[in-house]
Chain A
Amino acid sequence: MSRTIIPFGPQHPVLPEPLHLKLVVEDEIVSEVIPNLGYVHRGLEMLSRVRDMHQMIYVVERVCGICSCLHALAYCHALEKLYGLEAPPRARYLRIIWGELHRMHSHLLWLGLYAESFGFESLFLAFWKVRERIMDIMEATAGNRVVISTNIIGGVRRDISPENLRWIMNEMDLVEKEFRQLMSTMLKDYTVESRTRGKGYLSKEDAYALGACGPTLRGSGWAIDSRMLEYDALKDFSFEPVVEHDGDSYARGVVRFKEVLQSIGIVRECISKIPDSELSVPVKGNPPAGEAWSNVEQPRGELLYYVKSDGTKNLPRVRIRTPTFANIPPLLVMLKGCELADVPVITLSIDPCISCTER
């Protein structure tokens, strides 16, 4: 049996991003995987010494364009802890609305790319068609489609008018209707099941021991979700994470599929209960010296921010721990022993976000 090394990436049609895996292949079976990172590394954590802490919000949003709102949210939470202030009630609801909209668009994007990875192109187009409704909501409420820059330290930058809130409610109905139409294809179709069931198995013990997070962890049977910490408006609702027990690519797909429906529910609940108040509390002066950390649930898993302040307007250290970085060791375990043709499906099943990982 001969050993061959096949490069997967950095430019590959399945991946929108440059991830490079060296696959050691024996016949058709992958026996070893060597990850090779660094193609997107920019070094933006160092920018906190050049930009002041308010400008850094816009920098951390560009860590990852897909979940930008949640990066800014985590950063603002950490600085609010340093200042010892809390966002007003309406801002806390608006943050959750925009955050869950981001989760929905990220999951729909992933479901589409996932369908494309096993060659189901019409399903890819169908998911992205639903996603455009959410992009329209973002553009109407924040002025940009992807990077919406709504969070500031101490609250949010802009409001959503009552007419727009009613319109979002209507759109949520349409999104849910269109999304449920795709349910039977995504979850019961023979093609989808035969390409994903049993592929990339990750046992419950391995998932915990290797430090997986997000849907990768929940697909293996652990009910762990940072939203259970009840940040912002989430403390007013009861929240139950979505859990699947199979631990394969199919289960991870189901987790994300159900999370979209869960997010639709959260947005509806937020809109029906949203209180009236001012949008932000004023922030005066430089933050007191000290350190703070915060974590929020990103579409891909737990996102952790650590900030350190020395009492000047620049932060000497901002450390970002992103979910895909945690999910790469489980990925290497999943890929071992799989067939070469399943590598794209399994790689995508962790929802890799390389620009988060390498920053």
Chain B
Amino acid sequence: MGLLNNLINKSRLKSPWVVHYDCGSCNGCDIEVLACLTPVYDLERFGIVNVGNPKHADVLLVTGTVNKRNKAVLKNIYDQMPEPKAVVAIGTCGMSGGMFRECYNVVGGVDKVIPVDVYVPGCPAKPEAIIDGVVKALELVKAKLEGKAPQSDAAPAEPAEGKPEEPKPEIDAA
């Protein structure tokens, strides 16, 4: 079993699969995520493949702010992913809500709903930065495989309830 586990762990790190979810982004970051897969940046040379099914994925790429409707979808996708997994929040919106943080339908950054491992700044984040973020996330997956970092399910970060809601400015509805 040891040999088989070693093989599985090695292939996990050498060919990580990513699943991408657009969580209310303006498309700017989404098209940069897709641009990473195309000939100029070519993430596939690292064995990174974009898959549609979260059950096949190791890394979750989330772009955009979380709103009240897609909160449940995001949590659902995250829960379906097998351990060890890592989450990369892409763009200023994914980190904090960005320029939409005052909108009435916006909950805030991705970390209000699921624990986030790597934050990639930028509006929109550049493909180079996204590649860098995924590589950082893989280091974390490696640490989890070697038992140096806790599994995400074992120690959940404090989502929504733990943090106080940021007060939103009153917008006159007249």
Contacts and interface: CB of A to CB of B under 8 A. Distances in A.
A59 B28 contact: no
B152 interface: no
A89 interface: no
B40 interface: yes
Interface stretch (A6-14, A75-83, A193-201): A6-14
B30 A16 contact: yes
Contacts of B19: 11
B35 A132 contact: yes
Contact of B69 (A12, A41, A46, A135): A41
A63 interface: yes
B94 interface: no
A268 interface: no
B152 to A, nearest CB: 19
A10 B124 contact: no
Given A42-B67, A49-B172, A65-B124, A17 B22 contact: yes
Contact of B28 (A40, A50, A65): A65
Nearest to A65: B28
| A interface, over-half SS | loop
B15 interface: no
Contacts of A146: 28, 31-32, 124
A262 to B, nearest CB: 22
Given A42-B65, A62-B28, A355-B27, A49 B73 contact: no
Interface stretch (B97-105, B132-140, B141-149, B154-162): B97-105
A64 interface: yes
Nearest to B80: A11
A12 B22 CA distance: 10
Contacts of A275: none
Interface string B90-129: 0000000001101111100000000000000001101000
Given A16-B34, A17-B22, A125-B38, A145 B124 contact: yes
B167 interface: no
A46 B171 contact: yes
A41 B39 contact: no
B11 to A, nearest CB: 22
Interface in A24-83: 38-44, 46-47, 49-50, 58-59, 62-66, 68
Given A44-B100, A50-B169, A129 B38 contact: yes
A63 B52 CA distance: 25
Nearest to A13: B52
Contacts of B70: 10, 18, 39-40
B8 interface: no
A112 B106 CA distance: 31
A250 to B, nearest CB: 24
A229 B128 CA distance: 40
Contact of A44 (B31, B51, B53, B103): B103
A355 B77 CA distance: 20
Contacts of B21: 11, 18
A44 B34 CA distance: 25
B81 to A, nearest CB: 12
Contacts of B40: 129, 132
B84 interface: no
A96 interface: no
Nearest to A105: B31
Contacts of B35: 128, 132, 135
A83 to B, nearest CB: 24
Contacts of B126: 145
Interface of B: 19-32, 34-35, 38-40, 50-54, 64-65, 67, 69-70, 73, 77, 99-100, 102-106, 123-124, 126, 169, 171-172, 174
29 contacts: A10-B73, A11-B52, A12-B52, A13-B50, A17-B27, A18-B23, A42-B100, A42-B105, A43-B103, A49-B172, A50-B102, A50-B169, A62-B26, A62-B28, A62-B100, A62-B123, A64-B27, A65-B29, A68-B26, A125-B38, A129-B40, A132-B35, A132-B40, A135-B35, A145-B32, A145-B126, A146-B124, A147-B124, A355-B26
